[in-house]
Amino acid sequence: MSVLKGVKIIEIAGIGPGPFCGMLLADLGADVIVIERPGGGDLPAAITRRGKRSVALDLKSPASIDTVLRLIEGADALIEGMRPGVMERLGLGPDVCMAHNPRLVYGRMTGWGQDGPLAQTAGHDANYIALSGALWYASEAGQPPVAPPTLVGDLGGGALYLAVGVLAGILNARSGGQGQVVDAAIVDGSAHLMNLMLDLIGGGLGSEKRGTSLLDGPHWYTSYRCADGRDITVGALEPKFYRLLLEKLGLEDDPRFANQNKVSQWPEQKQQLAALFATRPRDAWCALLEGSDACFAPVLAPSEAARHPHIAARGIYSVEDGLLQAHPAPRFSNSPAAAGRPIPKVGEHTEQVLKEIRTPRQ
């Protein structure tokens, strides 16, 4: 049995972190019913629609709004990613929906949040994490920060926090509480993600000067370009792992690397390691370092990662519906999530879902 069997989520179709949150909940077994525009409209990417049931409704129609409200009556939660005020103008704001279902958890995904000076301003992942401070360390010293697209803000600070908030709200409602609004702002979540780095700063292991903190400046915690133009990473944080890295590289007796944590030496040490790693192709470094406690990994494209022995052994990726997809996570010992769940056509389940709605109100 899936861990979220019996949980029903209504998702108002959108793009980005909202659909990703719905996919995550569907991966874990929730019945996620996504309300989409007839014909698709601004159709979200296919993978984030997997495992859901699709209902096509024109939300500009009063009859469609009434249908959504009837669906909400039997749901645990609703998730939406509209700009603040849009759902209220549609007649589907929290007050209306929770009047129909007082135990409803109403999950709201935005970049800036439901209130504040920027609440009505457009933005994207890079903007939210820039303002929250989460982008600050995403660069070499002296270079402008660049973060992996969508991962830190939309997904890490947005979709995952919305999922946690919705599930926490459902648990509270089922234990005798009432429904409530979950305001999952990416700017909030990405700032919250900074607490580990802020802890390092508070402990004297970091600062706001780029290139001088424990995880953003050392020669032993970064990526390097190899002779064939491909890249590798090292992350030998602990002294015993650092010693092993030096031994593997034949540098254990080199005085230039004797001091692991002298910040003033890091730039020169990094240049020296960069020159060394540039002498051999990536696969040669993999043969030397991979599988050891030197804290090493090659930098792989997703399609290449899918073929890596460790990734393949865990079955992390597969090709479904012609698309390379990552399987559900996390894993449960007694409730395995189903891989390869189908991606619905827009409106595929409209008739089925509408039949499940109880007799219309008199």
Torsion-angle region of residue 32: left (phi > 0), alpha (psi -120 to 50) or beta? beta
CB 55 within 8 A of CB 349: yes
Non-local CB neighbours of 298 within 8 Å, separated by 6+ positions: 230, 231, 232, 233, 282, 285, 286, 290
Which of 163, 225, 222, 228 lies closest to 189, judged by CA?
163
| Pairwise CA distance, residues 105 & 94, whole Å | 9
Token pair belonging to 89: 């103008």
pLDDT for 320 equals 86
pLDDT for 255 equals 96
Whether 327 is catalytic is no
Tens digit of each residue's pLDDT (9 = 90 or more) over 104-113: 999 999 999 9
pLDDT for 362 equals 43
CB 161 within 8 A of CB 153: no
Map out the domains of the chain as residue ranges: 8-193+328-356, 221-301
Token pair belonging to 289: 């370092």
CATH code reported for the domain at 8-193+328-356: 3.40.50.10540
CB 66 within 8 A of CB 45: no
Three-state DSSP class for residue 106: strand
* Average pLDDT, integer, range 51-73: 96
Homologous superfamily (CATH) of 221-301 is formyl-coa transferase, domain 3 (3.30.1540.10)
| Pairwise CA distance, residues 346 & 41, whole Å | 10
Tens digit of each residue's pLDDT (9 = 90 or more) over 16-48: 899 999 999 999 999 999 999 998 755 556 899
User: To the nearest 10°, the Cα dihedral for 50, 17, 84, 32?
Assistant: 30
Whether 66 is catalytic is no
Q: Is the pLDDT of residue 282 over 70?
A: yes
Marked catalytic residue, from 154, 183, 188, 216: 154
**How many other β-carbons are positioned within 10 Å of the β-carbon of residue 130?**
18
pLDDT for 100 equals 96
CB 343 within 8 A of CB 49: yes
Tens digit of each residue's pLDDT (9 = 90 or more) over 121-174: 989 998 899 899 899 988 887 888 888 889 999 999 999 999 999 999 999 999
Overall pTM > 0.85 = yes
Residue type, 175: S
